[in-house]
Amino acid sequence: MTLAKTPLYDWHHAAGGRLVDFGGWSMPVQYSSIIDEHNATRTAVGMFDVSHMARFRFDGPGAGDFLDKLLTRKASVVPMGKIRYSLVCNDEGGILDDVLIYNLGEGDNQYFWLVVNAGNRQKIAAWIEQHLPDEGVVFTDHTHETAMIAVQGPKAIEAVQPLCDVPIHDLKYYSGALGTLCGEPALISRTGYTGEDGVEVTVPAAAAIAIWDQILNAAKPLGGLPCGLGARDTLRLEAAMPLYGHELSESIDPITAGLKFGVSFDHDFIGKDRLEAARDAAPPMVRVGFRCADRRVPREHCTVHIGDQQVGEVTSGTFSPTLNQPIAMGYVDPAIAVSGTAVEIDIRGKRVTAEVAPLPFYSRPRT
Amino acid sequence: MDPSQLLYAKTHEWAFVEDQDGGKVATVGISAFAIEALTDLVYLELPKVGAQTTAGQPFGEIESVKAVSDVYAPVTGEVIAVNEELPNKLESLNDDPYTGGWIAKIKITDESGLANLLDQSAYEKQCQEEG
pLDDT of residue A367: 63
pLDDT of residue A106: 84
pLDDT of residue A366: 74
Pairwise CB contact (< 8 Å): B39 & A319: no
ipTM: 0.85
Q: Residue range B108-128: average pLDDT?
A: 94
pLDDT of residue A144: 97
- For B19-70, the pLDDT digits (tens) are 998 999 999 999 999 999 898 999 999 999 999 999 999 999 999 998 999 9
pLDDT of residue A27: 97
- For A204-229, the pLDDT digits (tens) are 999 999 999 999 999 999 999 999 99
pLDDT of residue A262: 97
Quick check: B48 contacting A, CB < 8 Å? no
Q: Residue range B122-128: average pLDDT?
A: 95
pLDDT of residue A261: 95
Sequence-ordered list of residues with C-beta below 8 angstroms from that of A204, at least 6 positions apart, any chain: A145, A146, A147, A184, A185
Which of A12, A35, A295 to probe by mutation at the B interface, max B CB count within 10 Å?
Answer: A295
Instruction: Report chain A's mean pLDDT, rounded to a whole number.
Output: 97
Instruction: Report chain B's mean pLDDT, rounded to a whole number.
Output: 94
pLDDT of residue A365: 85
pLDDT of residue A2: 86
> Is residue A108 very low, low, confident or very high in pLDDT (cuts 50, 70, 90)?
confident
pLDDT of residue B45: 95
Quick check: B111 contacting A, CB < 8 Å? no
Please say if the pLDDT value at position A110 is more than 70: yes
pLDDT of residue B39: 86
Shortest Cα–Cα distance, A230 to chain B (Å): 7
Please say if the pLDDT value at position A257 is more than 80: yes
- For B2-24, the pLDDT digits (tens) are 899 999 999 999 999 999 989 99
Q: Residue range A300-320: average pLDDT?
A: 97
Of A18, A234, A348, the CB nearest to B65: A234
- For A72-95, the pLDDT digits (tens) are 999 999 999 999 999 999 999 999
